[in-house]
Amino acid sequence: MLAPTVVPALEHLTPHDLVTYFRCPFEMELVRAAHAERTTGRAGTVRTPPDVVPLRHSPMFAPPLGHLAVREGRLDLGDHDRLVYEDAGEDDLPILFPPERIRLDARFSEGHATLVDAELGLAGRPDLVIQRSDGSFVPVEYKSTHLFVGYHEAHGRLFDTVQAIAECRLVEVAFGRRPPVGIVLYGDAKGGGEHEGWVEVPYGEPEEHWLRAVLRQVRDDPVRAPVPAERNCAGCGPNGDGQCRYAAARYEGPLHRVRFAATPRP
């Protein structure tokens, strides 16, 4: 008699894992191991071997960027748009809607806010989900401190694009409709909102194919190598904890990446 086929469970990944891998796969390993230790009490495993050869660039395929729409100013909300989801675990989210236009979906309240895609092994929480007047659902990722100036100079903040595409997929699975775009909203809280803006990241077949490919790429990566570079290491949490011997810069705190992203190239 044939033994029953055992299908290995997909390694669980989050949009944040993809963002971290895009910077530095080894950082993703260290962050995930620390999280596992905090939540289970047991030391998390790190896939990266001690004799790994550091890389000059992340191996992740870049996301499609052809049709990003970059907008300055306040987010364009229509009178019939509604807020249908909010990550209650985030305490610095902007108030975009009056109470009468907040209709939170009860399926994702009271400890059930994590959106899960069992097919792709992906789970996470967008900051907000808006239902537009045409019935479409759009995830919003809010970057409170980011200045909007320098967006193009900072290479279109590829990290945020990665996150937006992954959140679109989660919203598609949770709400049953493919979002036409994901929004990254830059609030410039420290600048008093003077340089607010947002980016619409399209979510179509090219983006979904890219997402499926990078999920396979991350899972199939046997080493998850470090990518030492100042732009990565100076804002890397594990570096601040002294966990990385490949670091190319001293740890300067989590806001380093915000400053780096907002600094135009000379």
Where does this chain bind ligand SF4 (CB under 6 A)? 24, 26-27, 30, 226-228, 232-233, 236, 238-239, 244, 246-247
Q: Minimum Å distance from CB 60 to ligand SF4?
A: 13
Q: Tokens 């907040």 appear where?
A: 102
Sign for the CA dihedral angle at 243, 245, 246, 250 comes to: positive
Of 154 and 233, nearer to ligand SF4 (C-beta) is 233
Which helix (H) or strand (E) segment holds residue 69: the answer is: strand 69-72
Non-local CB neighbours of 33 within 8 Å, separated by 6+ positions: 43, 44, 45, 46
Toward ligand SF4, which CB reaches closer, 34 or 77? Answer: 34
The nearer residue to ligand SF4, 149 or 227, going by C-beta atoms, is 227
Between 162 and 244, CB nearer to ligand SF4: 244
- For the CB of residue 28, give the shortest distance to ligand SF4 in the complex, in Å: 9
- In the complex, the smallest distance separating the C-beta of residue 16 from ligand SF4, rounded to whole angstroms, is 15
Task: Name the minimum Å distance from CB 230 to ligand SF4.
Answer: 9
- Of 171 and 247, the one with the shorter C-beta distance to ligand SF4 is 247
The distance of closest approach from Cβ of residue 255 to ligand SF4 in the complex, given in angstroms and rounded to an integer, is 15
Q: Which amino acid is at 208?
A: E
Neighbour-count burial for 49-72, b at 16+ CB within 10 Å, e otherwise: eeebeebeebbbeebbeeebeeee
> What letter represents residue 39's amino acid?
T
